[in-house]
C-alpha cells in the first residue's frame, strides 16, 4: 500500500529555472562574480566553514551540487507555518469523523438506507453477495504516510488517514468474494454523506487509491482560500489481526469462480485459481500502521535519509514513474531505503545525495523480476518462499511480515523502465557534469519526449475482448473485473517478443482515473481514455526487414508459425538453409523506421483480437514535412545517399586527374547535402530544353521571361585542395589569379578526360554529373595566412585576422571538418538526418531562416545525439524534433555556451576551461554561442546571427510550439493538423508582401503544399543532358536582397525559402523617430515641419509603393497592417 505520494507539479514549475532573457544590454541578465574586499578574500576560514567543507568533501562531490540540493529541498519541503495550518485542519477532521452517527445493521445487498445524494464508490459486479453491514464510528483515526514521516513534498500535499473500523462491522468470512471491499465502500459512502454537509469542507469527493478500483478513498479539502492547502485521504481499514494471514497468501483463492462467473461449480474437483492481487489488496489495509511504524523507526532520526527520499520522489515524478496503479511510488522508494539500511548499504549518517546515489545504484544493478528481496528477518517455516511470490507477481519486494509483496501492482515493464532510468542517471552522476543536477532532477521526461514511438490502444473496452481471446478469465477474477490490468502484462510480453532486437524498452502509461463527485457512480474501466505504450528502439535493429525463424524441420518452427500466423513463410537462404521467416514491406528508411507499427498491429489483431483501427500509432506523423514532391513513402535519406555516392564518384575522378600542374591533395564536401542535413535533398536534373532559352557559346540554359520560374537547382559545393609548392605567389591578388587559372584548367581536363559538362568562373567550376551539379572550388592552404599579412610603411610584416581571412579559413578548413564530423555522426545515428532537417524546416517556416546559419542548426541537432542526457539518443526524427524544441526554449543562451563535443575530442577539464573563458569574454561573444573542438572560443557559426531579437523570438516560438505538438501526438484519437506548429504567426508583422506562386521555384516545398503547381521545365525520366541547367535561380531571394539593400535601415524582412508565399516586414523601432533634415540621407523619407523645424520621417506610402515596384511581376499585393503602427 502506498500511503501517500505527492506530485511535483507541472514541468513548468522549476525550482531554480534558468533565465531566458536574451535581449537588452550585453551585461543584462549575465551571471556576475561576487566582488570581495582584500580583507574578506584572505580571511581565515571559521571552524564552522572548515567543518562544512569537510562534510561537502565526504558527502557530496562538489560544493555546487550541495548548494543545488539544499535549494531544491528548501523548495519542496513543507514550511512550519503550513504544517501548523494542516495540523489544525486534521484535528477538526478527526472530531468530525468521530461524530458521524451510527446506523442499524442491514443486509449487504439492501442499500436502501443510502441517502439519495450519495452513491457507492464501487462497481458491485456481481451484485449478489452474502453478509451484513452497519456503520459505527472508527475505533481509531491515525495519520499514516509521508506527512507523518516528514518526507512529503510540495506542491500537492496529501495526508493519508487510516480509519480503523470496529470489529462489530466485520464478519469472519469477509475476506471472500469482495465482501470486505463492499463494506469498506459503504463505510466511505456513509462518511461522505455526513461530511459533505459540514461547512468545514470545501470539497468532498471520491477517488481510487493508487488507481485500484476495489479500494476507493474519500478526499477532503478545506473551505475557502485554504482549498489548495492540503488533501486529506481517508482509508478505512480492518482492526489489527482480524484477517488470518494464512488465508491471504499468494497461492490462495478468495474469489470463488461460481460466485464471480454466476455458474455452478464444476464437479470435476479442479482447484480454484489463486487470487494473489486480491489477497494483496486486503493485506495492504492490514499493514498501514506497521509500515508507518517501521519507516518512522528508520527515517525518524536520520535527516539525510528523509531528504534522500524527498530527492528520489522528485526523480520519480520528473520521469512520470509514480502515477496510478502499477507505478513505482514514493512509498516503495521509502521502503527500499529502509531495506538498504537493513542490509548496511545505506547508513543513517549519509547525505541526501549519497542516499540518492545508493538507491539508483541498487535499482540499476538489481533485477527484482528475477531475484526478489525481503525485509523479513524471520525464519518461520510457515512463511511462503520467494519463489511462490515470483510465480504470482512479476516484481517481488516483501515487507517485514514476509507475506505482503509491496511491488504486487508494479508491472515488469514499469520496473524495467525504472532500471533503465536508474542506469542513465548513474552514468550522468558518474560523469560529474556541471549541469548534472539540472538534468537529473529538474528536467521533466514526459513519455512523448522520452520514447521514439508511441501507440494508443482505444477504446479501452476493446481490451475486454482481448482478455477473452487470451483466455485471461482467472486474471480478470483476481483483478475484480479490471480487464485493463488483466490484459496489460500479457500484451506487453507479446509485443516485447514480437519486436525482439528492434526494442530496447517498452513502457506503458495509464491515464489517472479522475476524482468524482459523491453523487455520481464511479468511473467505468472503459471511461479511462486509452492505454498508451512507449517504444524505445535500437537504431541498429531498425534497418532489417527480416525476422528469421528456426529451420523448417526444427520443433520450434511450429511455435514460430503459431506466433506469426499468416506472415510466416518458408524461405531458402544463401547458405542453403530452409527456414521459417517473416518479411516486412519496407523499401525506404522511413518505412523501415515504421516496421514496429506493422509488427504491433499484426500481433494485436492475431493474438488479442484488437483490429488496427483501435491502434493509433504515433511514429511518422512529422515525416510529411520533409518528404519530397513525389516521395510519399520516403523522407529523403535515399536521395541524400544517391547524391553522396555521386560526390564520391566525382572525388575519385578529381583525385585521379592527369594534366594539372599540381596534384590534388584533398577533396572535401562542404554542402549540407554531404552531411545529410539538406531539408529537401536534390534529385537528378533532366531539363526540358524547350522550356528554356539556350546560350550556345556557354553551353548552358537561361529562363524564358514568358514561362514560369524554372526548377531551383542548387549546386553542391566541394573544396579541392592542391598540394603546396614554392611556385605559388605570396601576394593575395596573384594567388586569386592563379586559382582562377586552375579553375579553368580543371574544367578543361574534366571535359576532355571524363566527358563531363563543366562551366568555369574565376572562383569556381560547376560540374554536371549524372544529373547532379557540383561546384568545385580550388583552395590553397596558405591563402588565409597570406590574407592575414599586413605590411607596415617601414616594410615590417605583422599578422592580423581580417574578415576575408576568417571567411576563407572557415569555408576551406573549418567547414570541411564540420561536414566530415557530421557525416560520421549520421553513420552512427541514422535519425540525425531527419532531426536536423525537421529542425531547419521548422525554423525556416517561422521565417527565421536568414538569422540562423545551416551549420548552427546542424550543431544544435548534433548536440541532441552527442549529449542526450537525461535521455538516450533519439532513434526517430519525431522525438528528436521535440527535444530540439525543448533545448532551444529552455537553454540559458545568455549564461552558457552550447558545447557540441564532436568525436568526443574535448575532455571534462577542457570543457570547464571553456565555460570559464566564456564568462570572462561574454560581452564580446555573439548572443548564441556554440562551441566545437575546432572552434573553442569564437563561435564562428553564429558570428553573423542570430541577433538578440531573433533568438528571443525563436525561444518564444519553440516554447509555444512544444506543448501544442506534444498534446497533438499524445491525443489517442489522432493528432489533427500536425502542420499547425510549422505555420508562422503572421500577425506580428507590420507589412505582408504576398508573392505570385508562378515565380516561386520551390512552391511545392511549402508547409501547406499546393495540390498542383506550375511546370518547372523538368523531365521525370533520365535524358541525356549536354547543357548546364539554370543554377541558384530563386527570384524571391533576389528580391529580398534588393529590399534589404534599399530599406535595411528602416525595416527587417523575413521569408521562408522553402516555398514561402509571404514576406513579413517589421519596421525597426528607430525608423519612425524624426531625424534632422539632411539632403544626403533623404532616401525613403519625406520632410515635414515639426515645432518649427524641418525633420525627416519615413514616407510609408512611397516605401510600400516601392516594395511593389521592385518586385513587379513577382509581388501580387502589399498588405499594410497600419493598425500596428503609426508615423
- For the stretch 338-384, pLDDT in tens is 999 888 888 888 888 888 989 999 999 999 999 889 888 888 888 88
Sign of CA pseudo-dihedral 659, 661, 666, 670: negative
Q: Is the pLDDT of residue 1079 over 80?
A: no
Among 5, 48, 70, which residue's Cα sits nearest to residue 351?
Answer: 70
| 451 contacts 320 by C-beta, under 8 angstroms | no
Q: Is the pLDDT of residue 3 over 80?
A: no
Percentage of the chain beyond pLDDT 70 is 91
d(CA 213, CA 128): 18
Q: Is the pLDDT of residue 63 over 90?
A: no
Q: Mean pLDDT, to the nearest integer, of 1063-1073?
A: 84
pLDDT band at residue 256 under the 50/70/90 scheme: confident
The DSSP code for 255 is S
C-alpha cell at 461: 473496452
- Map residue 1124 onto helix, strand or coil: helix
Q: Mean pLDDT, to the nearest integer, of 256-270?
A: 71
- Map residue 358 onto helix, strand or coil: helix
Q: Mean pLDDT, to the nearest integer, of 954-974?
A: 90
d(CA 621, CA 118): 46
pLDDT tens digits, 122-172: 888 888 888 888 889 999 898 888 888 888 887 888 898 999 999 888 888
Q: Is the pLDDT of residue 267 over 60?
A: no
User: Would you list the DSSP string of 874-895?
Assistant: PSSHHHHHHHHHHHHHHS-TTT
Percentage of the chain beyond pLDDT 90 is 27
| 20 contacts 955 by C-beta, under 8 angstroms | yes
C-alpha cell at 456: 494508443
Element (H, E) at 365: helix 352-365
**Sequence-ordered alpha helix ranges (H) in 846-992:** 854-866, 877-890, 908-921, 948-969
Q: Is the pLDDT of residue 13 over 80?
A: no
C-alpha cell at 978: 500536425
- Map residue 256 onto helix, strand or coil: coil
Sign of CA pseudo-dihedral 48, 50, 51, 53: positive
Residue 14 pLDDT:
38
pLDDT band at residue 839 under the 50/70/90 scheme: very high
Residue 1043 pLDDT:
92
Q: How far is CA 33 from CA 66, 237, 375, 609, in A?
A: 19, 58, 50, 65
> Grid cell 524544441 — which residue?
885
Residue 349 pLDDT:
83
pLDDT tens digits, 901-950: 998 888 888 888 888 888 888 888 999 999 999 988 888 899 887 988 99
Contacts of 411 (CB under 8 A, 6+ apart): 326, 394, 395, 488, 489, 492, 508
Q: What is the mean pLDDT of the chain?
A: 85
Q: How far is CA 950 from CA 448, 597, 946, 953, in A?
A: 28, 39, 6, 5
Pairing of the two strands 531-537 and 503-509: antiparallel
Q: Is the pLDDT of residue 671 over 90?
A: yes
> Grid cell 540525425 — which residue?
832
Residue 26 pLDDT:
43
Residue 300 pLDDT:
81
Q: Is the pLDDT of residue 199 over 90?
A: no
β-bridge partners, 142: 162
More confident residue, 305 or 263: 305
Q: Is the pLDDT of residue 496 over 70?
A: yes
pLDDT tens digits, 841-854: 999 999 998 889 99
Residue 17 pLDDT:
40
Q: Is the pLDDT of residue 432 over 80?
A: no
> Grid cell 474519500 — which residue?
218
Q: Is the pLDDT of residue 325 over 80?
A: no
C-alpha cell at 289: 500502521
Residue 4 pLDDT:
34
More confident residue, 1095 or 237: 237
Residue 55 pLDDT:
63
Q: Is the pLDDT of residue 568 over 60?
A: yes
pLDDT band at residue 77 under the 50/70/90 scheme: confident
| 5 contacts 149 by C-beta, under 8 angstroms | no
pLDDT band at residue 1041 under the 50/70/90 scheme: very high
More confident residue, 31 or 540: 540
Burial class (CB in 10 A: 0-12, 13-18, 19+), 911: middle
Residue 52 pLDDT:
63
Q: Mean pLDDT, to the nearest integer, of 885-913?
A: 90
Amino acid at each position: 500500500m502506498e500511503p501517500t505520494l505527492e506530485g511535483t507539479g507541472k514541468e513548468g514549475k522549476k525550482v531554480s529555472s534558468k533565465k531566458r532573457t536574451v535581449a537588452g544590454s550585453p551585461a543584462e541578465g549575465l551571471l556576475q562574480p561576487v566582488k570581495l574586499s582584500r580583507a574578506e578574500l584572505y580571511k581565515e576560514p571559521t571552524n564552522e566553514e572548515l567543518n562544512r567543507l569537510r562534510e561537502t568533501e565526504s558527502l557530496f562531490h562538489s560544493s555546487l551540487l550541495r548548494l543545488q540540493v539544499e535549494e531544491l529541498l528548501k523548495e519542496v519541503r513543507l514550511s512550519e507555518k503550513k504544517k501548523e495550518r494542516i495540523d489544525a485542519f486534521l484535528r477538526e477532521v478527526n472530531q468530525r469523523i468521530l461524530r458521524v452517527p451510527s446506523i442499524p445493521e442491514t443486509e449487504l445487498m439492501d442499500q436502501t438506507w443510502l441517502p439519495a445524494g450519495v452513491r457507492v464508490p464501487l462497481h458491485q459486479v456481481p451484485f449478489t453477495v452474502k453478509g451484513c453491514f452497519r456503520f459505527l464510528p472508527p475505533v481509531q483515526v491515525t495519520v499514516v504516510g509521508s506527512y507523518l514521516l516528514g518526507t512529503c513534498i510540495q506542491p500537492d500535499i496529501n495526508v493519508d488517514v487510516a480509519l480503523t473500523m470496529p470489529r462489530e462491522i466485520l464478519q469472519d468470512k469477509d475476506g471472500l468474494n469482495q465482501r470486505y471491499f463492499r463494506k469498506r465502500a459503504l463505510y466511505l459512502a456513509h462518511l461522505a454523506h455526513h461530511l459533505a454537509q459540514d461547512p468545514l469542507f470545501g470539497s468532498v469527493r471520491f477517488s481510487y487509491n493508487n488507481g485500484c478500483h476495489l479500494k476507493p478513498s474519500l478526499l477532503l479539502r478545506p473551505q475557502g482560500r485554504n482549498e489548495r492547502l492540503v488533501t486529506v485521504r481517508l482509508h478505512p481499514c480492518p482492526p489489527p489481526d482480524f484477517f488470518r494471514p494464512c488465508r491471504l497468501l499468494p497461492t490462495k483463492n478468495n474469489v470463488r469462480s461460481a460466485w464471480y462467473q454466476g455458474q455452478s461449480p464444476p464437479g470435476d474437483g479442479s482447484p480454484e485459481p489463486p487470487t494473489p492481487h486480491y489477497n494483496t489488496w486486503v493485506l495492504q489495509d492490514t499493514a498501514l500502521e506497521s509500515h508507518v511504524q517501521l519507516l518512522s523507526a528508520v527515517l525518524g532520526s536520520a535527516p539525510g535519509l528523509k531528504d534522500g527520499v524527498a530527492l528520489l520522489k522528485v526523480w520519480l515524478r520528473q520521469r512520470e514513474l509514480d502515477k496510478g496503479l502499477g507505478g513505482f511510488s514514493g512509498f516503495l522508494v521509502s521502503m527500499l531505503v529502509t531495506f538498504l539500511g537493513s542490509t548496511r548499504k545505506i547508513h543513517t549518517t549519509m547525505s541526501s545525495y549519497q542516499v540518492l546515489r545508493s538507491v539508483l545504484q541498487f535499482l540499476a544493478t538489481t533485477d527484482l523480476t528475477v531475484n526478489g528481496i525481503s525485509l523479513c528477518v524471520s525464519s518461520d517455516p510457515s512463511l511462503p518462499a520467494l519463489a511462490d511470490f515470483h510465480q504470482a507477481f512479476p516484481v517481488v519486494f516483501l515487507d517485514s511480515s514476509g507475506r505482503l509483496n509491496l511491488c504486487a501492482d508494479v508491472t515488469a515493464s514499469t520496473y524495467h523502465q525504472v532500471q533503465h532510468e536508474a542506469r542513465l542517471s548513474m552514468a550522468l552522476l558518474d560523469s560529474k557534469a556541471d549541469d548534472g543536477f539540472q538534468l537529473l532532477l529538474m528536467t521533466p521526461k514526459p513519455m512523448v519526449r522520452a520514447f521514439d514511438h508511441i501507440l494508443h490502444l482505444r477504446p479501452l473496452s476493446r481490451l475486454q475482448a482481448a482478455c477473452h481471446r487470451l483466455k485471461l478469465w482467472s486474471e480478470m477474477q483476481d483483478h475484480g473485473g479490471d480487464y485493463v490490468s488483466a490484459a496489460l502484462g500479457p500484451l506487453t510480453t507479446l509485443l516485447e517478443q514480437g519486436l525482439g532486437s528492434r526494442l530496447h524498452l517498452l513502457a506503458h502509461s495509464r491515464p489517472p482515473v479522475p476524482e468524482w463527485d459523491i453523487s455520481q457512480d464511479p468511473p467505468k474501466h472503459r471511461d479511462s481514455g486509452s492505454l498508451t505504450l512507449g517504444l524505445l528502439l535500437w537504431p541498429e535493429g531498425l534497418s532489417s526487414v527480416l525476422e528469421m525463424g528456426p529451420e523448417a524441420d526444427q520443433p520450434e518452427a511450429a511455435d514460430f508459425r503459431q506466433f506469426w500466423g499468416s506472415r510466416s513463410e518458408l524461405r531458402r537462404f544463401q547458405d542453403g538453409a530452409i527456414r521459417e521467416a517473416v518479411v516486412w514491406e519496407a523499401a525506404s528508411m522511413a518505412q523501415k523506421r515504421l516496421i514496429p507499427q506493422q509488427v504491433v498491429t499484426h500481433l494485436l489483431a492475431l493474438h488479442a483480437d484488437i483490429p488496427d483501427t483501435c491502434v493509433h500509432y504515433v511514429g511518422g506523423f512529422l515525416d510529411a514535412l520533409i518528404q519530397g514532391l513525389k516521395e510519399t513513402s520516403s523522407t529523403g535519406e535515399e536521395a541524400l545517399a544517391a547524391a553522396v555516392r555521386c560526390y564520391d564518384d566525382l572525388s575519385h575522378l578529381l583525385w585521379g586527374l592527369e594534366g594539372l600542374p599540381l596534384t590534388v591533395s584533398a577533396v572535401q564536401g562542404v554542402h549540407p547535402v554531404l552531411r545529410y542535413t539538406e531539408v529537401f535533398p536534390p534529385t537528378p536534373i533532366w531539363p526540358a530544353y524547350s522550356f528554356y532559352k539556350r546560350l550556345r557559346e556557354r553551353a548552358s540554359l537561361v529562363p524564358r521571361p514568358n514561362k514560369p520560374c524554372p526548377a531551383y537547382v542548387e549546386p553542391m559545393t566541394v573544396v579541392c585542395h592542391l598540394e603546396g609548392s614554392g611556385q605559388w605567389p605570396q601576394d593575395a591578388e596573384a594567388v586569386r589569379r592563379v586559382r582562377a587559372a586552375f579553375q579553368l584548367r580543371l574544367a578543361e581536363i574534366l571535359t576532355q578526360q571524363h566527358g563531363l559538362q563543366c562551366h568555369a568562373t574565376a572562383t569556381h567550376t560547376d560540374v554536371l554529373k549524372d544529373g547532379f551539379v557540383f561546384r568545385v572550388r580550388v583552395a590553397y592552404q596558405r591563402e588565409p595566412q597570406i590574407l592575414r599579412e599586413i605590411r607596415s610603411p617601414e616594410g615590417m610584416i605583422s599578422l592580423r585576422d581580417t574578415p576575408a581571412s576568417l571567411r576563407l579559413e572557415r569555408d576551406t578548413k573549418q567547414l570541411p571538418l564540420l561536414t566530415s564530423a557530421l557525416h560520421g555522426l549520421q553513420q552512427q545515428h541514422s535519425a540525425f538526418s531527419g532531426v536536423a532537417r525537421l529542425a531547419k524546416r521548422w525554423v525556416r517556416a517561422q521565417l527565421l531562416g536568414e538569422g540562423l546559419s545551416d551549420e548552427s542548426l546542424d550543431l544544435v541537432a548534433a548536440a541532441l545525439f552527442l549529449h542526450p542526457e537525461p535521455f538516450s539518443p533519439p532513434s526517430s526524427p519525431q522525438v528528436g524534433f521535440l527535444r530540439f524544441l525543448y533545448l532551444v526554449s529552455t537553454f540559458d543562451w545568455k549564461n552558457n555556451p552550447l558545447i557540441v563535443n564532436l568525436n568526443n575530442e574535448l575532455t571534462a577539464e577542457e570543457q570547464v576551461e571553456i565555460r570559464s573563458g566564456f564568462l570572462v569574454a561574454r560581452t564580446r561573444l555573439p548572443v548564441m554561442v556554440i562551441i566545437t573542438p575546432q572552434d573553442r572560443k569564437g563561435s564562428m557559426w553564429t558570428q553573423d546571427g542570430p541577433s538578440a531579437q531573433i533568438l528571443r523570438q525563436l525561444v518564444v516560438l519553440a516554447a509555444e510550439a512544444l506543448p501544442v505538438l506534444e498534446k497533438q501526438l499524445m491525443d489517442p484519437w489522432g493528432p489533427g493538423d500536425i502542420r499547425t506548429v510549422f505555420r508562422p504567426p503572421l500577425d506580428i508583422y507590420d507589412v505582408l508582401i504576398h508573392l505570385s506562386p508562378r515565380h516561386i521555384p520551390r512552391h511545392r516545398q511549402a508547409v501547406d503544399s499546393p495540390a498542383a503547381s506550375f511546370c518547372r521545365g523538368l523531365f521525370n525520366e533520365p535524358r541525356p543532358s549536354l547543357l548546364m541547367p539554370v543554377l541558384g535561380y530563386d527570384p524571391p531571394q533576389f528580391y529580398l536582397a534588393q529590399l534589404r539593400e534599399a530599406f535595411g535601415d528602416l525595416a527587417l524582412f523575413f521569408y521562408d525559402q522553402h516555398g514561402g508565399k509571404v514576406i513579413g516586414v517589421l519596421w525597426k523601432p528607430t525608423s519612425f523617430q524624426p531625424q534632422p533634415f539632411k539632403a544626403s540621407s533623404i532616401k525613403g523619407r519625406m520632410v515635414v515641419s515639426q515645432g518649427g523645424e524641418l525633420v525627416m520621417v519615413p514616407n510609408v506610402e512611397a516605401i510600400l509603393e516601392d516594395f511593389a515596384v521592385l518586385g513587379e511581376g513577382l509581388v501580387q499585393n502589399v498588405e499594410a497592417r497600419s493598425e500596428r503602427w503609426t508615423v
